[in-house]
Every structure is written in structure tokens, then in C-alpha cells.
């Protein structure tokens, strides 16, 4: 029978693990340096597909100081929790979903219909980790569709302990005059409307002690010139987190954001040309490399768990050392 590690290896295209000191498992990291990442683009597609990437992002292996990987170690921090992750089919969403399952949670994934292949792989990893998994191919721009997802999860599981608003779209456009109204509309409606629709529908079903987590971004603070519309939406999400935290704390619901820096996910190939990808790879985080989704996942576990019981309204920056205000 496949172990979680063996399935993770298959999902990432990684090599088989070797024994490490202390009983850990580790394999030489493929992604330690900017030059180790492939220059590939899926910009001609509507969405990025992780299963079609040459080197697939790692969902549950963590980078060590010597550029080796070690398997994420779960401690049943989310035992019995019922969770939803939008955009959980790939990238950071997949990492959070898989780690939630490793921690004892059941996970419902919300994703675009064209991402079904990625969603099936995420479900495989979640089930192998011991969690139940529900799949919902649903565009979160659809208000009624979001409500149907929430109603279906509540019907199946009775409650929603954790909602992760992770799904986003991003386009790298260097000149504002080249941002089409169609693109602007899709970015705003996916990243802001979708987050709002899912949250509004879920809140009545989140019990005291529950958690809402939003994937914002470092760009809300950094102001990258090529990501005007995307950065606008991420700033709005940070504001939403602060306001909603003040509103929901009386109900015992915590609301926080995770703000990633440069991370290897399908979002980048889908947004950038090959020339833009090359420039992105050659401008890594201060730590000297691009991050892996698996290095973001523990932040979601932390914020979802009672370890973060005194944290709300905050933005956790997981960005490889970039210093940002806020």
C-alpha cells in the first residue's frame, strides 16, 4: 500500500525518500536554487494545471537548511474538524488541504471544473492521509453556486469548522492600459466577490472556536507594477480580514490572512510568459530561493488550530524574509 510519502513523491515528481537522522525521511530538494525551476508557461490557458507542470510543487515536504526535504510531521491538531478549502486542487490550497487531512480533518475542495484533474490528485492525497474529501467543481464568482457548496457541506458534515478562502486568479500585465475590462472583472469577482460569497454563506454554520483564513499576498504591501488589479484585490482581502475579525470575535470565530511571497504554484505559469517566468525565478525571496506550497501549509494548520486561539485580525507573512509594513 502506498504511504503518504510515496504518494507525495508521485504527486511532486520527486525521488524516493532516503532515511535521515532521527528516523526522518528526506530527499534532495529539486527546488533549492532559482536555476532549478523550469521556465514554462501556461499563459495560453484559462487556469494553471499543476499536474501538467514539469516539476510539480511539493504539498507536504518541508525544505531544510541544507536544501534537503523532510516530511511534514502531523500531531492531530485538527482531529474531527470539517474544513473547506477553495482552490484546494493545487498549489498552496493543496498543501493546506493535505496537511489538514494529516492533522485529522476532513476537507471539501472547491475549484473550477477545468481543474478536475488536479482536484482528483488532491483528493487522492487527502484520502491517503486519512481524511474524507468532498469535491465541488464550482466557480466562486457564482453567488448561488457558493451557497450550494456550503449547504452541501453542512448537509454532509453538519458544520464548518474552518473555511480557507484561497482561490484567486492573477495576470501579469506591465501597463494598466493593457488591462482589459474582462480581465479586471474576472480578477475582482474571483478574488473579492468569491471570498465574500463563500464567507457570507459559511458564517452561520461556523461554531465557536472556528476559523476563517484568507490567502492574501505580500503584493498587497509591496506594490508590484505588473500586478495592479491582483494587488488591489489582495489589499481588499486584508481589509476584510481586519473588519470581519472585529465583527466575528463576539461569536468566537477567528479571522486571519496568510500573505505568501514568491511560491512555486500553477498560478505563476498561468499568469506569466516564459520571459516573465525567467525574471521571476531570477528574483527570489531574500532567503535566496522560491518557496514551496508545503512551506505555507503549516501556517494554515496553525491558524486553523487552537494553537492560534489568541490570534485574530492578523496577516501572517510567509515570504522568505521580505520585510513588509503591516
Active site residues: 230
Q: What are phi and psi for residue 97, nearest 5 degrees?
A: -65, -45
> Is the CB of residue 207 less than 8 Å from the CB of residue 157?
no
Q: What are phi and psi for residue 24, nearest 5 degrees?
A: -75, 165
**25/17 Cα distance (integer angstroms):** 6
> Is the CB of residue 242 less than 8 Å from the CB of residue 326?
no
| Integer-rounded Cα radius of gyration of the chain | 18
> Is the CB of residue 42 less than 8 Å from the CB of residue 59?
no
> Is the CB of residue 34 less than 8 Å from the CB of residue 280?
no
- Written as nine digits, the cell of 315 is 496577516
Edge-first strand listing for the sheet containing 68-71: 18-19, 25-28, 68-71, 61-63
* Cell 531570477 sits on residue: 282
Looking from the CA of 64 toward its CB, the CA atoms found within 13 Å total 13
> Is the CB of residue 32 less than 8 Å from the CB of residue 63?
yes
Amino acid at each position: 500500500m502506498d504511504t503518504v510519502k510515496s504518494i507525495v513523491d508521485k504527486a511532486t515528481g520527486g525521488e524516493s525518500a532516503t532515511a535521515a537522522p532521527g528516523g526522518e525521511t528526506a530527499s534532495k530538494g529539486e527546488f533549492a536554487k532559482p536555476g532549478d525551476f523550469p521556465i514554462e508557461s501556461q499563459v495560453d490557458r484559462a487556469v494553471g494545471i499543476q499536474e501538467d507542470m514539469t516539476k510539480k510543487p511539493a504539498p507536504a515536504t518541508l525544505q531544510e537548511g541544507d536544501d534537503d526535504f523532510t516530511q511534514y510531521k502531523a500531531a492531530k491538531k485538527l482531529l474531527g474538524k470539517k474544513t473547506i478549502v477553495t482552490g484546494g486542487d493545487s498549489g498552496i490550497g493543496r498543501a493546506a488541504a493535505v496537511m489538514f487531512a494529516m492533522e485529522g480533518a476532513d476537507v471539501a475542495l472547491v475549484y473550477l471544473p477545468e481543474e478536475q484533474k488536479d482536484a482528483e490528485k488532491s483528493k487522492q492525497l487527502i484520502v491517503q492521509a486519512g481524511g474524507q474529501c468532498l469535491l465541488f467543481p464550482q466557480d466562486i464568482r457564482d453567488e448561488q453556486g457558493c451557497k450550494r457548496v456550503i449547504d452541501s457541506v453542512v448537509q454532509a458534515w453538519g458544520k464548518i469548522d474552518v473555511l480557507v478562502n484561497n482561490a484567486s486568479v492573477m495576470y501579469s500585465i506591465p501597463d494598466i492600459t493593457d488591462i482589459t475590462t474582462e480581465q479586471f472583472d474576472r480578477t475582482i469577482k474571483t478574488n473579492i466577490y468569491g471570498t465574500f460569497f463563500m464567507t457570507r454563506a459559511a458564517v452561520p454554520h461556523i461554531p465557536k472556536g472556528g476559523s476563517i483564513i484568507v490567502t492574501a499576498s505580500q503584493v498587497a504591501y509591496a506594490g508590484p507594477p505588473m500586478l495592479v488589479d491582483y494587488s488591489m484585490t489582495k489589499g481588499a482581502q486584508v481589509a476584510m480580514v481586519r473588519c470581519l475579525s472585529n465583527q466575528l470575535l463576539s461569536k468566537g470565530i477567528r479571522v486571519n490572512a496568510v500573505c505568501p511571497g514568491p511560491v512555486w504554484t500553477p498560478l505563476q505559469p498561468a499568469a506569466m510568459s516564459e520571459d516573465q517566468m525567467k525574471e521571476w525565478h531570477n528574483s527570489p525571496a531574500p532567503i535566496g530561493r522560491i518557496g514551496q506550497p508545503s512551506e505555507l501549509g503549516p501556517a494554515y494548520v496553525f491558524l486553523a488550530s487552537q494553537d492560534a486561539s489568541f490570534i485574530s485580525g492578523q496577516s501572517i507573512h510567509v515570504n522568505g524574509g521580505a520585510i513588509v509594513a503591516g
